[in-house]
């Protein structure tokens, strides 16, 4: 499971004057997808969209939750279902684009290995060794599954799908589309640190202020990079909360290397990505975590539509930061 850490400043429930019209601030929150959500928006008539947003989450869970045994993706993985819904199709297509762009670094079929290492939705009690990992690697490879309209075409052996690294970002985008349809011009949507903003925080009459948490191994929270995010989405992937240690004290991230089947050894502690959609920011944040600093730099030189902020350890074990493609820094 990925961990993403973000904070933002919000005013209390107040109203303010904007364009000669009184706007009320509504803030909805609760648990979802094994984490939390907060949706904040302004409206002229105190519109409460709690039921609609809960319905959106329910539909997405039913489509793509590996933790829900009767979801579509669970049925796909048990070979009980091949025809999938529109949400599944959108996430599949986006995942395929990122898979191809990153030469397979981002791969939703790695779920079998994620579960085997006890990082995923299924508890594995079988001792892992090189033979076991090699046997599981035959199920890995997003090129082994295609989509024809809304029907999945899979090779044999059939791969296991897991959209955990991108589905939360997609849910943010779906809520954003809903608020757009309701003509809300100012909002912030946050699902477990995956977020998207539009307009301003009308309670403060200023932009939406967000921050990237420092990778503190002691569990404390601090923020050095605090900035205004404007009409964009951002996702953060971090490895400093969940990792494995080898006999030499080297940390191995919870992101599995799609080429080897083993947890990724990386000096990157946190990656934040800004993009037009939270789904793409979410997926690329995961991929960049596994790619390493130099490969991320080379990749972003060819992708100006993405911005990234990396926090990593140098050879002296000191923290360094790298802002790419004009990622905002205060």
Rounded Cα gap, residues 195 and 233, in angstroms: 6
Peptide bond into 157 cis (omega under 30): yes
Residue 330 within a domain: no
Residue 64 belongs to domain with CATH number: 1.10.3980.10
Whether 1 shows a pLDDT value over 70: the answer reads no
Find the mean pLDDT for residues 148-177.
94
Q: What is the pLDDT of residue 240?
A: 58
DSSP 49: -
Residue 126 within a domain: yes
Rounded Cα gap, residues 242 and 252, in angstroms: 9
Q: pLDDT tens digit string along 238-296?
A: 865 555 566 666 665 667 889 899 887 778 889 999 999 999 999 999 999 989 899 99
What share of residues in the chain are helix, strand, coil (percent, to 5)? 30, 30, 40
Residue 102 within a domain: yes
pLDDT band at 5 (very low <50, low <70, confident <90, very high): very low
Residue 261 within a domain: no
Residue 262 within a domain: no
Rounded Cα gap, residues 170 and 283, in angstroms: 10
Length of the chain: 330
Helix (H, G, I), strand (E, B) or coil at 31: strand
Q: Give first-to-last CA distance, the chain, whole Å.
A: 29
Name the packing angle between helices 293-301 and 278-291 (round to 10°).
140
Would you say 10 and 203 are in contact if contact means Cβ atoms under 8 Å apart?
A: yes
Residue 110 within a domain: yes
Q: What is the pLDDT of residue 216?
A: 66
C-alpha distances (whole Å) from 167 to each of 24, 60, 119, 194, 225 are 30, 8, 17, 10, 26
Rounded Cα gap, residues 75 and 86, in angstroms: 16
Rounded Cα gap, residues 140 and 112, in angstroms: 8
C-alpha distances (whole Å) from 61 to each of 67, 87, 277, 314 are 9, 10, 19, 39
Rounded Cα gap, residues 6 and 19, in angstroms: 31
Sole residue written with tokens 């390493």? 292
Enclosing domain of residue 154: 60-163
Residue 223 within a domain: no
Residue 37 within a domain: no
Find the mean pLDDT for residues 61-79.
95
Number of separate domains in the chain: 1
Q: What is the pLDDT of residue 213?
A: 86
pLDDT band at 4 (very low <50, low <70, confident <90, very high): very low
Rounded Cα gap, residues 138 and 144, in angstroms: 10
Find the mean pLDDT for residues 15-39.
78
Rounded Cα gap, residues 276 and 233, in angstroms: 6
- What are the two backbone dihedrals, phi and then psi, of residue 166, each rounded to the nearest 5 degrees? -145, -20
């Amino acid at each position: 499971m990925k961990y993403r850490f973000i904070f933002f400043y919000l005013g209390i429930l107040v109203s303010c004057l904007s364009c000669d019209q009184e706007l009320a601030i509504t803030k909805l929150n609760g648990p979802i997808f094994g984490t939390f959500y907060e949706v904040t928006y302004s409206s002229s008539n105190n519109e409460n969209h709690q039921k609609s947003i809960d319905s959106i989450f329910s539909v997405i869970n039913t489509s793509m939750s590996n933790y829900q045994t009767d979801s579509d993706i669970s049925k796909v993985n048990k070979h009980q279902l091949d025809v999938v819904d529109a949400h599944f199709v959108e996430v599949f297509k986006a995942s395929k684009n990122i898979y191809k762009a990153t030469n397979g670094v981002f791969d939703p079929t790695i779920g079998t290995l994620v579960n085997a290492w006890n990082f995923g939705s299924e508890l594995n009690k079988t001792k892992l060794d090189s033979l076991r990992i090699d046997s599981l690697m035959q199920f890995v490879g997003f090129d082994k599954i295609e989509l024809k309209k809304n029907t999945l075409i899979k090779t044999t052996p059939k791969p296991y799908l897991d959209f955990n690294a991108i589905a939360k970002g997609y849910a943010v985008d779906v809520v954003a589309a809903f608020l757009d349809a309701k003509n809300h011009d100012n909002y912030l949507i946050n699902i477990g640190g995956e977020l998207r903003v539009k307009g301003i925080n009308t309670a403060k009459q200023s932009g939406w202020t967000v921050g990237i948490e420092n990778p503190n191994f002691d569990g404390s929270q601090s923020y050095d990079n605090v900035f205004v995010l404007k009409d964009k989405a951002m996702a953060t992937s971090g490895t400093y909360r969940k990792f494995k240690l080898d006999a030499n004290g080297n940390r191995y991230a919870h992101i599995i290397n799609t080429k080897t089947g083993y947890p990724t050894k990386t000096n990157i502690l946190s990656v934040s990505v800004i993009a037009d959609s939270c789904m793409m920011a979410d997926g690329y944040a995961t991929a960049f975590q596994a790619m390493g600093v130099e490969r991320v730099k080379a990749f972003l030189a060819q992708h100006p539509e993405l911005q990234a902020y990396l926090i990593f350890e140098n050879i002296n074990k000191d923290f360094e930061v790298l802002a790419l493609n004009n990622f905002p820094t205060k």
